Amino acid sequence: MKLNKSTSALTVIACSLLNLTFAAPAAADGKRDSVCEKTAKTMYSACRLDTWDDYNVAEANCMNLSDRSDRRACSRAALAERREGLASCRDQLDAREETCEVLGEDRYDPDPLLDPDIVFVEPDDVDPQQANPFVSVVSGHTHVLREGDETIVVHVTADTREINGVACRVVVDAVVEQETDETGTEVEYAPVEVTDDWFAQDVDGNVYYCGELARNFEDGELVDLDGSFKAGVDRAKSGLLIAAQPQVGLAHRQEFALGEAEDVIQYADLAAHPTDDNPRFPCAAAGGCLQTLEFTPLEPDTAEYKYYLPGIGFVMAEKLEDGLATGERAELVCTGDSLDVLHDAACEIADPEALLASLCRLSPDAFCTDQDEL
């Protein structure tokens, strides 16, 4: 629809008023905000505007219900969602400002992939002596995780994507739930999430996160691509996924796509011994694991302690809510150099062939060993 000049002027005035109304509170101590803190406050304004936008659309839909009681119920629900949304905006502001303190950051620039001081290695040319001890970009590497009822297969493909001029390895992360058919005799695997992660490694062994394509499913159907981003697109930037030689207390961004992907990692311990160890890959037997705290200001109340065994990689995660362990955890079950590991009894997969067939349908380039399986 083409807007006339009067309409355009009113829109500009309205937006200006909204920005004034939704401005984040100024610093109490009078100190000048860093760019990181200014970013947090600008995102707070954006969040409130989005919340009001969603509320107005919901109210407009409520108006078109014939039944009066239905309209009232619809409006009450819309109002409750608005209140919850505005509270969430404030929580995200607080979390972003706390993140700024943890990072000690001003402006997040340049994108690591464009940093002339970082020398990247072609994924196929990674020397075993230079390989990151916690995350592998070596083609074929496969590991299986278990988290509650979910099975997670992570497979390093032979494919790469050039992002901001850097060759980034494609690593597919597939989350599925085991089900049985109506007869209760055949095992099926329903998709929960399938993600193409893009990793790059530098000459010092540091691994960077170039972006991801996340496909989220409900009841076996694709519902959205939330969480997806690609460095260089819509101002998104890569981040340091994990350092080859981490230092306790150091924190950094793993990704930077405001409102979409804002994960942060902080190194908590270089030789951690979790109270409830992973019995298959115990940290204690190797003298301890790298322990990290990983979180995002987009979900202020949640975080994870993750444990990485040098030479193996991720072995366990413990979920936190409001700083307390929830009891939910993910554990490494098995690992190998190819998809053949899925047939290993150690992986505890009820029907490896059914799982592979399901993975093949979800991500043919990564999991199909025979195109006839399609």
Residue 250: the pLDDT is 98
Please answer whether residues 121 and 140 qualify as being in contact, where contact means their C-beta atoms are separated by less than 8 angstroms: no
pTM: 0.89
**For residue 121, what pLDDT band results from cuts at 50, 70 and 90?**
very high
Question: Mind listing the pLDDT tens digit for each residue in 244-280?
Answer: 999 999 999 999 999 999 999 999 999 999 999 999 9
Question: Mind listing the pLDDT tens digit for each residue in 127-160?
Answer: 888 899 999 999 999 999 999 999 999 999 999 9
**For residue 372, what pLDDT band results from cuts at 50, 70 and 90?**
very low
Sort strands 229-230 and 207-218 into parallel, antiparallel or unpaired.
antiparallel
* Widest CA span in the chain: 72
Task: Return the C-alpha torsion angle 313, 316, 320, 324, nearest 10.
Answer: -120
Residue 183: the pLDDT is 73
pLDDT for residue 29 is more than 70: no
Phi (first) and psi of residue 183, to 5 degrees:
-80, -15
Two tokens at 75? 């409006």
pLDDT for residue 17 is more than 90: no
pLDDT for residue 8 is more than 60: no
CA atoms of 89 and 84, how far apart (whole Å): 9
Two tokens at 160? 């790469």
**For residue 23, what pLDDT band results from cuts at 50, 70 and 90?**
low
Question: Mind listing the pLDDT tens digit for each residue in 72-107?
Answer: 999 999 999 999 999 999 999 999 999 999 999 999
Two tokens at 34? 């860093």
Question: Mind listing the pLDDT tens digit for each residue in 188-232?
Answer: 999 999 999 999 999 999 999 999 999 999 999 999 999 999 999
Two tokens at 88? 């969430």
Residue 172: the pLDDT is 99
Contacting residues for 40 by C-beta, under 8 A, at least 6 apart: 24, 93, 96, 97, 99, 100, 297
b/e 133-143 (16+ beta carbons within 10 angstroms → b): bbbbbebebbb
- Could you please report the per-residue DSSP string of 329-351? EEEEEEEESSGGGGGSGGG--S-
CA atoms of 44 and 28, how far apart (whole Å): 17
Phi (first) and psi of residue 124, to 5 degrees:
-75, -15
Residue 274 per-residue DSSP state: -
Burial class (CB in 10 A: 0-12, 13-18, 19+), 226: exposed
Query: What's the gap between Cα 252 and its chain centre?
Result: 15
